[in-house]
């Protein structure tokens, strides 16, 4: 009550620190609230798809963030959330705020040794996949200060997966029988946390980084984890692995004096 009276007397508008997340593929318009003059934004691209009989899995989506981006109260700004790839020829979509040149998490390519890239003040590329006997696992989503883990071949092949770095998702693996493969780990959008571990045998799914979800075991699907995990491909089994969908999250400090900035300064939900 006293804050409201003070605001009326002084003409100062008290704006709470807050946020807005977009986690379903599509194009949106974000309207800047009254009293907000700058925002920080993180974007994760969709993971690449995979399918039966493919040589390599899908690459993980890239993660990019930007801090202190100037906005004008009442104006609207474009938000695009990329979808995950659905087949071995379907790449994940880019996620971005305003435009891909401002801040972007690039979609993970399908059947690729590299992952999605990023644009912004910081972030990480998604992890790629390898081809071993028509079997390749999904790459992990990019991290806040490092790249996602690379998906490996089958257990014992020498093509081992890697963990994510900088809070990114880990790459998937394949069991000795070629049947159960792992999707890449996703990445969370609440700021940088622990990196995701690589898949192992008999637990081939790549683990999520920074609170993202684990990839799924492919028997039959092998989907990538949310957000941005690449899907696995396999010589055996059935069904298409689907890449983890992308996401965009906008945060602002308001007038409370709470500084909020990626990768990890008060980036959780407030």
Count of H-run helices and E-run strands, the chain: 1, 12
Cβ–Cβ < 8 Å for 212, 191: no
**pTM of the predicted structure, to 2 decimals:** 0.92
Q: DSSP of 190-254, one letter per residue? A: SS--PPPPPP-SS--SPPPBTTPPPPPEETTT-PPPTTTPPPPBBSSS-S-B-PPP-EEEEEE-T
Q: DSSP of 45-100, one letter per residue? A: PPPPPB-BT-SS-PPPPPEEEEEEEE--TT-EEEEEEPPPP-STT-PPPPEEESBT
CA distance linking residue 233 with residue 231, whole number of Å: 7
Cβ–Cβ < 8 Å for 58, 85: yes
At 124, list the tokens.
Answer: 């990480």
Instruction: Per residue of the chain (270 residues), give pLDDT as tens.
Output: 334 334 434 456 678 889 999 999 999 999 999 999 999 999 999 999 887 666 678 999 999 999 999 999 999 999 999 999 987 668 999 999 999 999 999 999 988 889 999 999 999 999 998 876 666 789 999 999 999 999 987 666 667 899 999 999 999 988 777 677 889 999 999 999 999 999 987 788 999 999 999 999 876 668 999 999 999 886 665 566 899 999 999 999 987 778 999 999 999 998
At 231, list the tokens.
Answer: 């899907």
Domain chopping of the chain, boundaries:
17-262
Helix (H, G, I), strand (E, B) or coil at 5: helix
């Amino acid at each position: 009550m006293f804050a409201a009276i003070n605001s009326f007397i002084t003409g100062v508008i008290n704006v709470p620190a807050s946020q807005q997340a977009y986690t379903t593929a599509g194009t949106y318009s974000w309207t800047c609230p009254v009293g907000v003059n700058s925002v920080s934004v993180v974007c994760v691209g969709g993971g690449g798809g995979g399918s039966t009989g493919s040589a390599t899995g899908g690459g993980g989506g890239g993660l990019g963030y930007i801090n202190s981006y100037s906005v004008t109260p009442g104006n609207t700004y474009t938000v695009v959330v990329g979808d995950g790839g659905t087949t071995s020829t379907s790449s994940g979509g880019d996620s971005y705020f305003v435009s891909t040149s401002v801040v972007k998490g690039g979609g993970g390519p399908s059947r690729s040794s590299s992952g999605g890239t990023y644009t912004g003040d910081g972030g990480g590329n998604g992890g790629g996949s390898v081809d071993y006997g028509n079997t390749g696992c999904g790459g992990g989503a990019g991290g806040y200060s490092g790249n996602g883990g690379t998906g490996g071949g089958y257990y014992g092949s020498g093509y081992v997966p890697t963990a994510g770095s900088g809070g990114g998702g880990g790459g998937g693996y394949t069991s000795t029988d070629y049947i159960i493969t792992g999707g890449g780990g996703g990445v969370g959008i609440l700021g940088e946390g622990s990196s995701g571990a690589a898949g192992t045998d008999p637990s081939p799914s790549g683990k999520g980084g920074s609170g993202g979800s684990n990839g799924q075991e492919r028997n039959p699907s092998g989907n990538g984890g949310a957000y941005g995990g690449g899907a696995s491909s396999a010589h055996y089994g059935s069904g298409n692995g689907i890449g983890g969908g992308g996401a965009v999250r906008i945060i602002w400090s308001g007038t409370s004096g709470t500084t909020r900035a990626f990768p990890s300064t008060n980036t959780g939900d407030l």
